[in-house]
Copies of this chain bind each other. A is one copy, B any other.
């Protein structure tokens, strides 16, 4: 069966599906660090929502005649690399990783999704990117913790900066290896100046998230 999807779209669905699957695993693992049953419940609920996104992307690939394992395979190295290089040391680092890391990924995927030509795929991707509740939960918990212990803020701000650095390293790897995906992005934004503006938008959103956490002024 030939797929109606082009290689760039398959790549996008593959990286998104494996991203959701690893997000699921990591959030569920981090639930073990939760200081209370209520916090554990919140994190496990978010993890389950990520799995539901994964399942829909997976099923969409199957329905489009694409083997999800093949679509995800090129992104296992970069995404595992990101997670292996950034294991959270405690509950707060885990929350920040969920919020900052997933926020950055979500912004990026949303930019790319705009260039997807297959309408059902575009709708599904945008749906998979819907916030699962990390945002307000993480912001509330981090602000509470830094209010109680202001010295925490410095360490957590450094942690967030490290997350962004590691994410950029892995994104670079993907860009070099996946021509179709990179083309979709460069083609979509028209020129290299467009890429520059895209990076500026990603950076602005990241700064807004750091401000929401109270970790940047």
Contact = CB atoms under 8 A, between A and B. Distances in A.
Interface string A21-63: 1001100110110001110110011011001101100100000
Nearest to A51: B48
A24 B37 contact: no
Interface string A62-87: 00000011001100100000000000
Interface string A120-163: 00000000000000000000000000000000000000000000
Protomer copies: 2
- Chain A at the B interface: SS class: helix
A41 B28 contact: no
Nearest to A27: B28
A92 to B, nearest CB: 19
A45 B32 CA distance: 19
Given A29-B32, A69-B38, A21 B48 contact: no
A37 to B, nearest CB: 4
A48 B47 CA distance: 9
A47 B28 CA distance: 9
10 contacts: A24-B28, A25-B29, A25-B32, A25-B44, A28-B29, A41-B58, A41-B68, A41-B69, A45-B55, A48-B48
Interface of A: 21, 24-25, 28-29, 31-32, 36-38, 40-41, 44-45, 47-48, 51-52, 54-55, 58, 68-69, 72-73, 76
